[in-house]
Amino acid sequence: MPTTAAATAKAIADAGIERVFGLPGGEILVLIDELRRAGVDFVLMRHEANAGIAAAVYGKLRGQPGVVLTTLGPGAANLMLPLSSAYLDQEPLLAISAQIPTEFPDSHTHQLLPLREIYSPLCRYVDTITKQDAGDVVRRALGECMRRPFGPAYLTLSAREAVKDTAASLVDVARGFQPRDRGPERAALRGGVDNGDALQRARELTALLAKATRPLVLIGLGIHSSNAQRIRRWVTDWNLPVAVTPKVKGIVDETAGNFVGVISGMAADGLMCEALAASDLLIGLGLDPVEVDKTWHAELPIHWLLESANVGGRLPSGVALVDHGRLLDALEAERAPARWPAPFQAFQDKRRRLLDDRTESVGTMWPGDIIRALSSAVPSETIVTTDVGSHKYLFGQFWPSRQPETFWMSNGLSGMAYGLSAAVGAKLARPDVPVLAAVGDGGFSMNAQELETAERVGAPFVTVVLEDGSYSLIKLAQEGRKLERYRMDFGPIDTVKMAEACGVQGLRTSNPDEMASAVKAAVERRRSLVIGVPVNYEDYRRLF
Ligand SMILES: Cc1ncc(C[n+]2csc(CCOP(=O)(O)OP(=O)(O)O)c2C)c(N)n1
């Protein structure tokens, strides 16, 4: 008879999950050991929140749930950020933590938190693993994470329950369950979509497009990356103007002539909002307003094409789901009903010129030069992660993404301390692809210690820290509201020394050519590198 911990580990291993991220406590030692025996690596990190973020990105890139494991009480409490992130950013994440055994006396309150109650509103499945049902509960939780929109599930396992014998044999526990992302078609079918409808919906859209002079396709978090080629063929063959939200950057080639820009609160958002208002047909292909910090999605008419509900199970009123794959196939069989000769050219030109509108700040690097130097130094398959702040607005709008799943930021939750942890998960999921993390000096100081994790687990990547000695995005907001300048600046922490303290080479430069050649060399040698780049926060004003 396997123990409950052994059955839990086996269910995770049988699901094809090769790594679990976390930070230990005595109460999960047995489960960590059973995971080891089952061939599942435990990626030891330095904060549970970072472990959860890394796990979710690792999982989503592998088309399966990420798994994060923590102790009870404080370790479990630190899961609020990654579970919130998985909920709002549609990332499949299973969190498992220890809990006080139910058989403990009522008087035992040490480290006792109402964890199930705390995480129930965020998670689509919350349960307790027991010796009776360990395998089934784990399988169910993993499956729920992969139901679209992807999201989190949460399980507890007490240290006492972990060592109890289950009723099942390990053979019974293993059912060959693979909670893999099988693509949108099946997801749509599971949601009860009438797929015969796709042809009809394609005809309706074609008729609308026939009358439109300034159509704009808005692609959002609800599309599936497996439809990238179909989407590219459609917008290219029909020469349709297209904009994306940051979470799906790279789904279309952002260097192509029909790319209008990135919508949803990045740099140049005023310009993007003007472009949206100038359109006479907005097509919301998988558009999830969870990424939008303004309300245009409710004020402008949008022709919604969704194949699953948006975050929180929400749907714009009256919208019926449609399978994107079938819809795009049906559109491909049609001819473009009209021609749209670059109706957004003026906006595109203005957007491009913003990066050239440089200031002559001394000793700092113009943000446009950071983008140009880095994008010239890394290949197009490079995965870029950002943290949250002014630098996210910069990279979100101007990083020229060319391939799907190559850009990762927290934009539903917009939580700081995402970028570096996401880079750890991304590099472990795609070891052959270069990874570049762009973070602010505020966010960097929240989790720079994970650089040591990255070195230890063999996940080298390049980190660029944009140094302005402040929480610059909030400082700009303070100034914008004409409030007194107050408490937005912090003292310097030496980025280079911080990197070196974690065993990583560091460099500080305000010269774009020096930065580009250092990044190129690090990528070629597959080495980690941290570059501190001084920036003038006032430069961002010209871009936002
Ligand atoms: C966890 C968390 N805390 C606070 C915020 C609010 N916030 C958004 S951006 C920002 C400033 C970030 O500063 P930094 O990392 O230095 O980046 P910069 O804006 O300077 O590029 C803050 C405090 C947040 N989004 N997430």
**pLDDT at residue number 189:** 43
Show the tokens assigned to 436.
């570049």
Determine if ligand 1 sits within 6 Å of the CB of residue 464: no
Please check the confidence at residue 190 and state whether its pLDDT lies above 50. no
Contact 444, 533 (CB under 8 A): no
Nearest Cα residue to atom 25 of ligand 1: 415
Pairing of strands 462-467, 529-534: parallel
Determine if ligand 1 sits within 6 Å of the CB of residue 389: yes
Minimum-distance ligand 1 atom for the alpha carbon of 473: 19
Q: What value does the mean pLDDT of the chain take?
A: 95
pLDDT digits (tens, 9 = 90+) for 322-344: 999 999 999 999 999 999 999 99
pLDDT digits (tens, 9 = 90+) for 121-177: 999 999 999 999 999 999 999 999 999 999 999 999 999 999 999 977 665 555 666
Q: How far apart are CA 367 and CA 393, in angstroms?
A: 11
Q: Can you tell me the mean pLDDT for 449-455?
A: 98
At 445 the three-state DSSP class reads: helix
- For the whole model, what pTM was predicted? 0.96
Q: How far apart are CA 60 and CA 430, in angstroms?
A: 11
Residues paired with residue 506 on neighbouring β-strands, in sequence order: 530
Q: Can you tell me the mean pLDDT for 82-91?
A: 98
Residue found by looking up tokens 């960590």 in the block: 32
More confident call, 64 vs 180: 64
pLDDT band of 192, cuts 50, 70, 90: very low
Please check the confidence at residue 457 and state whether its pLDDT lies above 50. yes
Q: Is residue 301 reached through a cis peptide bond, with omega within 30 degrees of 0 on the bond before it? A: no
pLDDT digits (tens, 9 = 90+) for 474-512: 999 999 999 999 999 999 999 999 999 999 999 999 999
pLDDT band of 219, cuts 50, 70, 90: very high
Minimum-distance ligand 1 atom for the alpha carbon of 391: 21
**pLDDT at residue number 187:** 44
Determine if ligand 1 sits within 6 Å of the CB of residue 91: no
pLDDT band of 1, cuts 50, 70, 90: confident
380-409: b (≥16 Cβ within 10 Å) or e:
eebbbbbbbbbbbbbbbbbbebbbbbbbbb
- Ramachandran quadrant class, 479 (left: phi over 0; alpha: psi -120 to 50; beta: rest): alpha
Q: How far is CA 67 from CA 22, 27, 192, 454, in A?
A: 8, 17, 28, 18
Q: Can you tell me the mean pLDDT for 513-518?
A: 98
The percentage of the chain sitting over the pLDDT mark of 70, rounded to a whole number, equals 96
More confident call, 232 vs 189: 232
Q: How far apart are CA 49 and CA 443, in angstroms?
A: 13
